[in-house]
Amino acid sequence: GQNIDQPTEMTATEGAIVQINCTYQTSGFNGLFWYQQHAGEAPTFLSYNVLDGLEEKGRFSSFLSRSKGYSYLLLKELQMKDSASYLCAVRDVGDSSYKLIFGSGTRLLVRP
Amino acid sequence: DSGVTQTPKHLITATGQRVTLRCSPRSGDLSVYWYQQSLDQGLQFLIQYYNGEERAKGNILERFSAQQFPDLHSELNLSSLELGDSALYFCASSVSRDKTGNTIYFGEGSWLTVV
């Protein structure tokens, strides 16, 4: 089966750092993605990890541990515009097909 | 702008009716995905096509069907609509079916309201 867990909501202060965790269980694994989604808008790609370790991209970093089925998204120097939902998605390999399966998302509220 | 185009952007229809949602993938992308997102819910994978063929199926109801045409655009058909089908339907595309690291880009979505 497939299971992706993220916290439902998080709150942080402008200028601070926040870490959003994601744990997953899938029958196969071919990469983990993070997307940002503002309410009523399309998800936009943030990062991709397929090997263990940290990927840094400006204010955003993403970490993966395949043995633990764990990832996190780190957002630094938070800005008000970072208030959005953050979606963890795993590319699940099975039955000769690749599906991108999403968690329910973490709603982040950035306060002044 | 992701390059994925969806029409219509908004649609209101009555229960029992049938609608068709259309998606044009990014230029050069062969894979098309459909997702459903109900209010305050996560993205539910419906179905994936690659170069005209169905490649993966998710939680898609029997009342729903999709296809990908030779020009690579795709349509999602929703029939016998129920109130619970009201949702935001996203189309996404990627270059290939399964290349590692292949990013999936989303369209702006089609808002469906069933009354």
- The per-residue pLDDT for range A48-63, each reduced to its tens digit, is 999 999 999 899 999 9
> What is the nearest CA distance from B42 to chain A, expressed in angstroms?
4
Amino acid at A4: I
Distance CA B108, CA B115 (A): 22
CB contact under 8 A, B43 and A87: yes
Give per-residue burial for B34-58: e unless 16+ CB within 10 Å, then b.
bbbbeeeebbbbbbbbbeeeebbeb
Kind and range of the H or E element at A72? strand A70-75
Among the partner residues A41, A100, A104, nearest to B104 by beta-carbon distance: A100
For the record, the structure tokens of B49 come out as 């096509």
Amino acid at A50: V
Chain B residues within 8 A of A30 when measuring between CB atoms: 98, 100
Please tell me the predicted confidence (pLDDT) of residue A82: 97
Chain A residues within 8 A of B95 when measuring between CB atoms: none
Among the partner residues A30, A42, A101, nearest to B109 by beta-carbon distance: A42
Residue of B nearest to A9 (CA): B40
Among the partner residues B33, B98, B107, nearest to A42 by beta-carbon distance: B107
Chain A residues bordering chain B (beta-carbon distance below 8 Å): 30-31, 33, 35, 40-45, 48, 50, 87, 89, 93, 95, 97-105
For the record, the structure tokens of B33 come out as 């995905």
Helix (H/G/I), strand (E/B), else coil: A80: helix
Beta bridge partners of B38: none
Amino acid at B101: G
Helix (H/G/I), strand (E/B), else coil: B51: coil
For the record, the structure tokens of B94 come out as 């990627």
Distance CA B107, CA B103 (A): 13
Cα-atom radius of gyration of chain B, to the nearest Å? Answer: 13
CA of A11: how far to CAs of A22, A44, A107, in Å? Answer: 16, 21, 8
pLDDT beneath 50, residues of chain A: none
Distance CA B57, CA A71 (A): 26
Please tell me the predicted confidence (pLDDT) of residue A1: 64
* Strands B5-7 and B10-13, bridge-based pairing: unpaired
What does the pLDDT profile of chain B (115 residues) look like in tens digits? 889 999 999 999 999 999 999 999 998 899 999 999 998 778 999 999 999 999 888 889 999 999 999 999 999 999 999 999 999 999 999 876 555 557 889 999 999 999 9
Q: Which of B104, B105, B108, B110 to mutate to test the interface with A (most CBs of A within 10 A)?
A: B104
| Closest-CA residue to B53 (of B29, B41, B70) | B70
How is residue B80 annotated by DSSP? S
Within 10 angstroms of residue A87's Cβ, the number of other Cβ atoms is 25
Among the partner residues A89, A98, A104, nearest to B97 by beta-carbon distance: A98
Q: Mapped to the 3 state alphabet, what secondary structure does A38-91 carry?
A: CCCCCCEEEEEECCCEEEEECCEEEEEECCCCEEEEEECCCCHHHCEEEEEEEE
